[in-house]
Structures are given as C-alpha cells and as structure tokens.
Chain A
C-alpha cells in the first residue's frame, strides 16, 4: 500500500463517509482509492469539477453531519482556501489532506514543504485557525488521519494533514487500525437533518452585525486556545544530552532520524524534535530545550518557513541556523549531517 492509499483507507476506518476530490499528482491514489472503496461502505464519492467544487461539497456534507474529507496537492489546495475559510467560519469539521509538491505556481510534482505558511498561518481570509498535522511515516500518517477526524469533530474545525509527495508515493509495511462505526460517533445536534420536532438549524459564517461577529469570533478564538492547551504533539529523539538539535517535520524528520544515528556514531550529541502538530506549534518544549543546547538547526524542503516558528520559540537562547532544499529536491542524510557538522565546529 502506498502512503496515499493508506491515508485513504485510514479515513474510511475513521468513519469518513463522504469524499470529494479532483485529480492532481502526487495525490491521485487517494481519489482513486476512495472511488473504489468508499461506496462499498455506503459513503458518497464524487470526482468534482474542480477543487473549489470539492471543498464546497465537503462544506455541504459536513453540515449534514457526516465525517467528510477532501484531498489535493499544493495548487489544488490554493483553490480550496476560500472553502476552508468558510468551513472555519461556519464551525464545520472537515479533513483536508495536502500531498504537497514543489511550487509556487505549477512548480513540479516532487515532494516539498513550501505550503507550511499557507497551512499554518491562514491561507484563506479572516481570523481563523486550522489544525495541521505533519506525518513523517506511513504509520504516522494513518494514525494522524484517524486523529484528524476526531479533532475536527471535537473542536468543529477543519484539520489538515500536511503530507508530501515522498510519503504519498512510498510503500511501507503497516498495521491498519480497527474501523470506527460512524453510527456510534457522538451525535451532531447542530447538523442539517430536517427541522422535525425542533427549531431549524442554520449553518452560516455570515454575521452582518459587527457586535455579533465579534462575539462569535471571540468564542471561536477561545476554542483555538483550548486546542493550543490540549493538542500539541511532537516527538523528541535523543534530546536529553544533546548539544545540538534538529527541528524537522514530515519527510525531513524521517531523514533526520537517520542523521541522529550517524552523528551519534561520530560522537556528535545530536537530538531531533519533530513537531507533529504544526498548528498548534510546540513552542513551549522548544523553548525549554533551547537553554540546554547551543544550536537548534531547522531543516525544511522550503526556503525557510517553519524556521520562523522555531525562532519565535527559541529567541536568542540558542543559535538558530537554517538549512533548506528548494524546488522538490530532498536533502540526503549526508547533506543534513554536513550542515550539523558545520554548526558544531
């Protein structure tokens, strides 16, 4: 099973019963897997006329109370941004997978991490947040897709799984979780199900009165604060005695695990912090580590996006160099080790 197929199967097992998408490489296997498998469990599948249509179909299906997902890759995710803002504004859960590729523009179909800003800092308009999860292996991708549906429902927010072409296309032996029975999930009393024996339900992000919108936005912000308090996830490797730490997410974190082993065998006390929730970002643990080490090296397949969050966390308590590869080039363990050595000497 490729990473893409594994994420699609994980979604079905999480109780996803509506999927809408549009072809784009390197995520086509998700769409194709859903076309073949979601109808078998009574789910809805449409190959939409565009990513815009797909995200708006999600908006409708989610409003009707069903666990809903769409997936795409970078250019298609750009088209979904208005819809994501509407989902956030109407407090609708939805899972969005971005199997990111090189950009900007049409870029290429190679793995890249240039969509971090778009995913974690807005992308769409307005004061909203989206939970962003960054898997580094297929096993993590499965776990995080399952988690994404739970978090989306719990907080009524869109959740993005920010993957990349490398993870999407590769194969690994995996264990699949037990399927969730969607009929046993918590009820959604706010959903559109017909106003029978109750007042009508309304799903909207439109509040013409500034006082109303202020109140609703403020309530939503307090939910975001709860997410920041309860949902930060990250993984530390060999940090306890480290003098230098790499911060990397997704595919780069996976490569950096190898670098830690290589560096340790050469006597370099290297550790790794892998943020798993990219929003909310693990500022506090990085801040804590920053007084213990000399250097926190951020490695990304971008010109330097997450590094801004790392620098916010670390301030001037440690050096915060950056190493990035652009355009879909994947750094090798050797490349990263070279950067580590440059920073320990």
Chain B
C-alpha cells in the first residue's frame, strides 16, 4: 500500500513544466492524466527549454496553454507535418505531437504515416479514446465494433463502417520507426507502464534515434456516457480485446 502511495505521489505532483492554467478536460478524463505524465517526463529529462508541443484539433487543442514550453496549434490532422517542418529546421528542439484518433488516424492519416515512414526524429503521442470527443461523440476510425456513438447510434456496423484501425500495428510495418507501443491507463500498473513508455519515446528523440509513437487507450466518460470507473472497466474488459497492449517496435 505504501509503495502504491509513493507511486501516486510521483505521478500526481504538479510538474514544473505545467503552467497554472486550468485544464479544460471533463472530470475523470484520461487526457488530463497523459498531459501530466508528459509534463513530468519533460521535467525528468530536463528538456522544458527546448520542448515544442504541436497541438491537434480535438479536446487538447489548447494544450500549449498548459505546458511551460513553446507550442503551436496545427490544422486538424496535420500535426506530424507541422512537427516535421519545425524539427527539420531546428533539430535541437524536442518536438512532440499530441493527437486524437480522429486527428491522427482519420483526417491526418497521410501525414501521420509519412512522418513515421521518413523516420522523423519526433515523438508522437496518440490518444485513442475511440471517439471524437471535441465535436460531441461521433464515430472515430478506432470506434470498436458495436460501440454506440452519435453518428452510429445503433453501434458501429463493420459492414457499413469497416473495422477499427490498429494504428500502432500499421506504423510497426514501416522500417523507420524506432519505438512503437500501445499503452493504457485503466489502473495504477498501467499508468506507470505508460509513463515509462512516454519517457522512453522522448528519450529516443533526445538521443537522435528517430521516430516513436506511443498510442494510449484512453476514456471519454462524457461521450461514452459512463462514469470514470465504468470507463476503466470498459477499457480493461472490452477495448483491449480490439487493441492489444504492448511494444510493436523497439529497436535498440
């Protein structure tokens, strides 16, 4: 128990790389957790003064207000192209994108795949909440078969809408990426593992090793119409059946 408390303290102390601005996420949303983990990582690696966050269009659009580092807002889906432009002209910066599933795996599919395929030395944090949060809960490319959303009110029908995209596995087919992993946040153990994965992905970039992707299975209590606790058990019992956790690429 005391060990767990230590862990809790580590993750939830306010990282220096966070500003005092309030998060605009709904209560219980994992977006806030990942935002903190990234800030903590930036602290640990001592890269606050050269980090640049590329924000998506989605619930985390104003992330640049929360990090005490330079930030840029990208057009919906184009974060990896924007990150590419920054990194290529100033390789000393530590450039990361933070993108939802609509942003990264629907409208931005081409930019996301090609940045990975070029092996851009950037870090991509991919928030797979299986839904379009910001626009009010429509179907995402990652929505699991049978899941109800406002644009598939009877549940995702694979006959009409196809199957959820396993983006980490897609990226893992490419030769260039150095680290590709899928993580989740539904319990303390998972949170610690996801924190390690995020740190590792940033380290890859700091060491100049190339492209890394951390896909994180997260919740959307608001649009899933579940309590945060229900959402966690849904992730643990249902979602990971479609999206297995683990490392897909780890080139040392």
Contacts and interface: CB of A to CB of B under 8 A. Distances in A.
Interface of A: 17-18, 20, 44, 46, 48-50, 52-54, 56-66, 68, 82-83, 86, 90, 192-197, 200-206, 208
Contact of B86 (A49, A60, A205, A206): A60
Contacts of A204: 55, 64, 71-73
Contacts of B90: 64-66, 192-193
B93 interface: yes
Contacts of A59: 72, 74-75, 78, 81-82, 85
A58 B69 CA distance: 21
Contacts of B71: 192, 200-204
B75 A83 contact: yes
Nearest to A52: B78
23 contacts: A18-B89, A46-B88, A53-B111, A56-B75, A56-B85, A57-B88, A59-B75, A59-B81, A60-B82, A61-B89, A63-B86, A66-B90, A68-B89, A192-B71, A194-B50, A194-B70, A195-B49, A195-B70, A202-B64, A202-B65, A202-B71, A204-B55, A206-B73
A49 B75 contact: no
B114 interface: yes
Contacts of A192: 52, 70-72, 86, 90, 93
A208 to B, nearest CB: 8
A250 B78 CA distance: 33
Which of A18, A59, A83, A200 has most B Cβ within 10 Å? A200
Q: Which 3 A-B residue pairings sit nearest by Cβ, starting from the closest?
A: A60-B85, A56-B81, A57-B85
Interface in B93-113: 93, 110-111, 113
B70 A60 contact: no
Nearest to B87: A60
A89 to B, nearest CB: 9
Nearest to A53: B81
Nearest to A63: B72
A6 to B, nearest CB: 24
Interface string B19-56: 00000000000000000000000000000111110110
Nearest to B65: A202
Contacts of B78: 52-53, 56, 59, 83
B173 interface: no
B227 interface: no
B213 interface: no
A311 B121 CA distance: 53
Contacts of A201: 70-71
